[in-house]
Amino acid sequence: MELKLLEDFLCLNDTRNFSRAAEARNVTQSALSKRIRTLEHWVGATLVDRSSYPIELTPEGAAMVPQARELVATFLGMRSGIRAFATPGRNCIRLAALHTLRVAFLPEWRQRIEAATGPLVIESTGSFAAYAQTLRQFRNGETDLLLTYTHDSVANGLCSEEFESCLLGQDRLLPVSAPGTDGRPLHQLDSGGVVNFLSYGTSSFFARALAPLLSERPRALNVAATNAMSVGLQSLAKVGCGLAWIPESLALPDLRSGELVLAGGPEWVLELEVRLFRHRRTKRPVTERVWQAAQGLLAEESANVTPLRRRG
């Protein structure tokens, strides 16, 4: 059994959509479907209910998710640890990044950076890792840079004596829902009743960022589904399963098309920063070039326009 089959399975669990998962895994949809069936054959059980949309996992599939995450994290952690001892190529950057930023921010940002630095080889980790593990990989020196959201309510343990950061842009975490026939959100925070809530669980960055807001502004929330990945909750929200907080950079196309609508007022919105971190003690030439290019991009931005917002 190959590790990529578990990674395919976890990606499908997070997106709940074969087409989207195939795109994320850089394979065709038919190839991904065959690989999932290969995994099911190896396990000896059906893992995915293909008759529903978005797709749902069978009880066997749901039970397998935490074990698969642990196995993938263990193997990737082992690989990262060994690579930390190797000397990366001259133009190779080891980047730890939160999954949402890998999807919604990194591709365009990389193009803009490479316009200043020339071609780069970016080894990106953190796709399926929990937030704490992504931080740990960076703190341990397994990666050169960390691309992450920051918010006052989420401690990252990156003290300024050891690490420095560069502001790349801003984003907002928005409460969204599918609209009803009248165009109003099917699930809304100001309805006064119980709201079906699509939760990030407890360990992801967004779960930690939302916790103080939900504590300060208590609402009757019924957890309809849990997924640590924004793209997974976004897919569930689009088909009416409940209300989810989704980064604006990710939700903007669906808000423009009307597939999603805002489900709460400004008091329910979280302002986020996107920051790049590096170790102060490590100054590889390629890291220095990327760092200077990132600061140069920031200097080009006006006071009211940021890389993420401009895309909107």
pLDDT tens for 3-13 read 889 988 988 88
What tokens does 148 get? 């992450």
The answer to whether residue 48 scores a pLDDT higher than 60 is yes
What is the rounded distance in angstroms from the CA atom of residue 209 to the CA atom of residue 153? 6
Global pTM reads 0.70
Question: What integer pLDDT is reported at residue 146 of this predicted model?
Answer: 94
The answer to whether residue 99 scores a pLDDT higher than 90 is no
Under the banding of pLDDT at 50, 70 and 90, the label for residue 273 is: very high
How far CA 161 is from CA of 19, 49, 56, in Å, comes to 44, 50, 46
How confident is the model over 159-185, as a mean pLDDT?
Answer: 93
Question: What integer pLDDT is reported at residue 274 of this predicted model?
Answer: 95
User: What mean pLDDT, rounded, does the chain reach?
Assistant: 85
Residues β-bridged to residue 96: 125, 146
Question: What integer pLDDT is reported at residue 241 of this predicted model?
Answer: 94
What is the rounded distance in angstroms from the CA atom of residue 84 to the CA atom of residue 86? 6
Question: Tens digit of pLDDT for each residue in 50-93?
Answer: 887 788 899 898 888 888 888 887 776 666 555 555 555 677 88
**What topology is assigned to 172-269 in CATH?**
D-Maltodextrin-Binding Protein; domain 2 (3.40.190)
**What topology is assigned to 81-170+272-311 in CATH?**
D-Maltodextrin-Binding Protein; domain 2 (3.40.190)
- The residues, any chain, with a CB within 8 Å of residue 222's CB and separated by 6 or more, are 194, 195, 196, 197, 242
Residue whose structure tokens are 């300024």: 160
**CATH topology match: 3-77 vs 81-170+272-311:** no
Question: What integer pLDDT is reported at residue 46 of this predicted model?
Answer: 92
Question: Tens digit of pLDDT for each residue in 248-268?
Answer: 999 999 999 999 999 999 999
What is the rounded distance in angstroms from the CA atom of residue 115 to the CA atom of residue 129? 30
Question: Tens digit of pLDDT for each residue in 112-130?
Answer: 999 988 988 888 765 555 7
Question: What integer pLDDT is reported at residue 303 of this predicted model?
Answer: 40
Question: What integer pLDDT is reported at residue 86 of this predicted model?
Answer: 52
The answer to whether residue 310 scores a pLDDT higher than 80 is no
The domain locations on the chain are 3-77, 81-170+272-311, 172-269
Amino acid identity, residue 270? L
The answer to whether residue 232 scores a pLDDT higher than 60 is yes
How far CA 211 is from CA of 113, 132, 157, 267, in Å, comes to 34, 16, 18, 14
**What topology is assigned to 3-77 in CATH?**
Arc Repressor Mutant, subunit A (1.10.10)
